[in-house]
């Protein structure tokens, strides 16, 4: 029994070393995780002041009150990911025009602290491939009354960045109206696209809007396809060459 003691001692020492290494590895990984969270932060929806509320009709609605809370919080507490998401939502909802002059200065500080200008620049770069797709699709259906557009929702006041086969009289750098809110409503209802009819004078259009999502910021752009019903029935279907 006395001879077995050295081997038992060796086993205990090895076991202690293994347990210590496991604790050390766990502590190291936890430290790395916390460091990553500090560096990259959380998603904005993880905070209580996520600036969208749900109405009784189960639709999303921008909350200026919660936006203000987030704005002041991220000036004092750094979170690169959530703060930039907040800025993106603010720009989408033209928040500068809604804030009081003193709060506009606070927002300007937040915008500068988290390099807000690059958010729009990065989004435009993200949408470049979609610009090419819209152009190619548009050029595949010339003179058919099928209009296709691309909106960059990082700048809703001048969102229209690509336009092919103009049928509705829109112009590049035109803005959106309630498009973003409509899309957020559909998002809450788990609908992937927005279908609607548009009347411009006596002309009727069948319209489909397809949202473009970016992991960090949600909906950042949309592709709109507007089909002129009058043009197709009165012009295209009457011309055999166009059909063939």
Section 145-166 average pLDDT: 87
Domains (range + CATH), the chain? 44-115 (no CATH), 125-243 (3.30.450.20)
- What local confidence, expressed as pLDDT, does residue 67 receive? 95
The pLDDT, as a whole number, for residue 193 is 64
**What is the SS3 string spanning the chain?**
CCCCHHHHHHHHHHHHHHHHHHHHHHHHHHHHHHHHHHHHCCCHHHCCCCCEEECCCCCEEECHHHHHHHHHHHHHCCCHHHHHHHHHHHHHCCHHHCCCHHHHHHHHHHHHHCCCHHHHHHHHHHCHHHHHHHHHHHHHCCCCCEEEEEEECCCHHHCEEEEECCCCCCCCCCCCCCHHHHHHHHHHCCCCCEEEEEEECCEEEEEEEEEEEECCCEEEEEEEEEEEHHHHHHHHCCCHHHHC
Which percentage of the chain shows pLDDT scores above 70?
68
pLDDT band (50, 70, 90) for residue 58:
low
Mean pLDDT of the chain: 78
- Work out the pLDDT band at 159, boundaries 50, 70, 90: confident
Mean pLDDT to the nearest integer, 218-242: 74
Looking at residue 65, its pLDDT comes to 94
Per cent of the chain over pLDDT 90 is: 32
């Amino acid at each position: 029994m006395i001879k077995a003691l050295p081997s038992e001692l060796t086993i205990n020492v090895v076991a202690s070393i293994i347990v210590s290494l496991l604790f050390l590895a766990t502590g190291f990984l936890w430290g790395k995780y916390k460091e990553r969270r500090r560096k990259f932060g959380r998603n904005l929806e993880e905070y209580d002041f996520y600036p969208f509320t749900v109405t009784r009709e189960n639709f999303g609605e921008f909350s200026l009150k919660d936006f203000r809370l987030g704005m002041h919080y991220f000036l004092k507490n750094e979170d690169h990911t959530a703060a930039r998401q907040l800025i993106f939502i603010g720009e989408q909802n033209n928040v500068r025009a809604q804030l009081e002059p003193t709060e506009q200065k606070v927002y300007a500080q937040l915008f500068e602290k988290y390099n807000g200008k690059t958010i729009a620049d990065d989004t435009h770069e993200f949408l470049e491939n979609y610009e090419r797709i819209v152009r190619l699709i548009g050029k595949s259906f010339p003179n058919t009354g099928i209009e296709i557009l691309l909106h960059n929702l990082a700048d809703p006041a001048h969102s229209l960045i690509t336009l092919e086969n103009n049928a509705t009289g829109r112009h590049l750098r035109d803005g959106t109206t309630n498009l973003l809110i409509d899309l957020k409503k559909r998002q809450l209802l788990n609908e992937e696209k927005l279908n609607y009819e548009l009347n411009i004078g006596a002309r009727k259009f069948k319209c489909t809007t397809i949202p473009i999502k970016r992991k960090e910021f949600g909906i950042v752009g949309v592709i709109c396809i507007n089909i002129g019903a009058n043009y197709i029935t009165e012009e295209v279907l009457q011309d055999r060459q166009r059909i063939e």
